[in-house]
């Protein structure tokens, strides 16, 4: 919060602060989406190999396929979108924080 207060004290408009904070959140969400997708695909392939060796026939889905490209793209798009929607209120509140309040404890 101090960083946001400092930016506001330096004259940044609330909109500029909101864009900067949202860009940081979206960058982290993008990295998380990529890492999560890679771990999910690799985990799916490993689980498929393990289950194929045990000949479990009661699975409700065809477990012998890797996730399709559509599922991977959907995951890569939905994670940042969901994070942006979830962070919108906090970003708005942070961008409109009074600099005096944010910097009070320095």
Over residues 42-85, the pLDDT tens digits come to 888 888 777 777 766 666 555 556 678 898 899 899 999 999 99
pLDDT of 57 reads 66
Q: What is the model's pTM?
A: 0.74
Model confidence band, residue 28 (pLDDT cutoffs 50, 70, 90): very high
What percentage of the chain reaches a pLDDT higher than 90? 46
What is the Cα–Cα distance from 90 to 96, expressed in whole angstroms? 10
DSSP line for 4-73: HHHHHHTT--HHHHHHHHHHHHHHHHHHHHHHHHHHHHHHHHHHHHHHHHHT----SS-TTSPPPHHHHH
């Amino acid at each position: 919060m101090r960083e946001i207060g400092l930016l506001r004290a330096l004259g940044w408009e609330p909109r500029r602060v909101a864009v900067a904070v949202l860009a940081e959140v979206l960058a982290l969400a993008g990295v998380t989406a990529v890492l999560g997708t890679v771990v999910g695909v690799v985990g799916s392939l490993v689980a498929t190999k393990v289950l194929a060796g045990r000949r479990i026939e009661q699975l409700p889905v065809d477990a012998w396929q890797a996730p399709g490209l559509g599922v991977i793209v959907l995951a890569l798009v939905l994670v940042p979108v969901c994070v942006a929607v979830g962070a919108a209120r906090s970003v708005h509140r942070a961008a409109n924080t009074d600099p005096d309040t944010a910097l009070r404890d320095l």
